[in-house]
Amino acid sequence: MTTQENLAIIDVPKGKRAGLEWILGESFEGWYLMHSKRTLRDIELVRAAMSSGKAAGLVMLKTLGEGVGYVYYIAVAKASRKKGIGKRLLEDALRHFKASSVVEVFASVEEDNKPSEALFASERFTRTSFGEVSKRYGGLHALNMYREMLVVPGEILLRKATT
């Protein structure tokens, strides 16, 4: 694995996000591709990993409610994978959430998506469930969170405390 020493992670404002769509095209298909492109346009925060001035990966972040953060999509360009860029983007996202007083961060991944599971496991995200989220936030609140997170059958929900 090559260490990405010259990597800069920057905010990408709404007007400049179209230039990142090609990374989504390399990373997702079907419904996920369509939804990820829509999310890229609309979501509150997009951070991009820039290597020698060129985008190599991105992460889309949202605060779901007081103290709760959600990693919507994280994607790295095919040619730049397995070099630690996804990990750098996730670490940056966790730093951002922590600085915004977020106490726990969720992410959902497809059950058979090994690279994604490995990435989140490497940052010590662990599996959780609707039952656990309900216990913590109450059934109605948990239902609304699940709706916002768009957790669909075949996906697992992961969480990590930032403290």
Ligand X SMILES: CC(C)(COP(=O)(O)OP(=O)(O)OC[C@H]1O[C@@H](n2cnc3c(N)ncnc32)[C@H](O)[C@@H]1OP(=O)(O)O)[C@@H](O)C(=O)NCCC(=O)NCCS
Total site size for ligand X, rule CB under 6 A: 20
- Report the distance separating Cα 87 and Cα 153, nearest Å: 26
Measured from the CB atom, the residue of 76 and 133 that comes closer to ligand X is 76
**58 interacts with ligand X by CB under 6 A:** no
CB-based closest residue to ligand X? 86
**Residues 58 and 51: beta-carbon distance below 8 Å:** no
What track of x and - describes contact with ligand X for positions 61 through 90 (by CB under 6 A)?
------------xxxx----xxxxxxx---
140 burial via Cβ count (<10 Å: 0-12, 13-18, 19+):
exposed
**49 interacts with ligand X by CB under 6 A:** no
- Report the distance separating Cα 77 and Cα 86, nearest Å: 10
Measured from the CB atom, the residue of 32 and 137 that comes closer to ligand X is 32
> Strands, E, within the chain: which ranges?
7-11, 45-51, 54-65, 68-76, 104-110, 126-128, 155-161
**115 interacts with ligand X by CB under 6 A:** yes
Interface ranges with ligand X (CB under 6 A) = 27, 73-76, 81-87, 109, 113-116, 118-119, 122
